[in-house]
Amino acid sequence: MSTNLSIATPLQQILGTDKKNPVFSVFRDARHEVVHVYYGAELLETVADDREHTAYKLLVGRLYNAGVNREALRRAFNADPKTMRIWDCSYSADTCCVLVNTARPRDGF
């Protein structure tokens, strides 16, 4: 049985487990420009590795809301805690307009 290692995509762990986060691991796939989120050993979701992408913002907001260490999130996603709090609030029903305002392009529309 031969294995072609050139097909494997290297993942870089950007957020690991710790006392406050015992189950979520986040990996960056630079080749395909996506972020993989694992719940334990199971792939939970993949999102575009783009700070401006709505799915990326919602992911960071969900991790913030889940109680993941804020400093670890700041280092992993290069986002200010205030910004992560905005992204966290942005998907709740009463503040959905925040997401629209933060996701809207700044071209005057």
| Cα–Cα dist 108/13, whole Å | 38
Average per-residue pLDDT for the chain: 81
DSSP 31-86: TTTEEEEEETTEEEEEEES-TTSHHHHHHHHHHHHTT--HHHHHHHH---HHHHHH
Q: Which amino acid is at 97?
A: C
pLDDT for position 53? 92
- pLDDT of 28-77, one tens digit each? 998 999 999 999 999 999 999 999 999 999 999 989 988 889 999 999 99
pTM (whole model) above 0.85: no
Rg for the chain, CA atoms, rounded:
16
Q: What is the DSSP letter of 100?
A: H
Once rounded to an integer, what is the mean pLDDT over residues 102-109?
Answer: 53
DSSP lists the bridge partners of residue 29 as: 34
pLDDT for position 20? 81
pLDDT for position 21? 84
Q: Judge whether residue 12 has pLDDT over 90.
A: yes
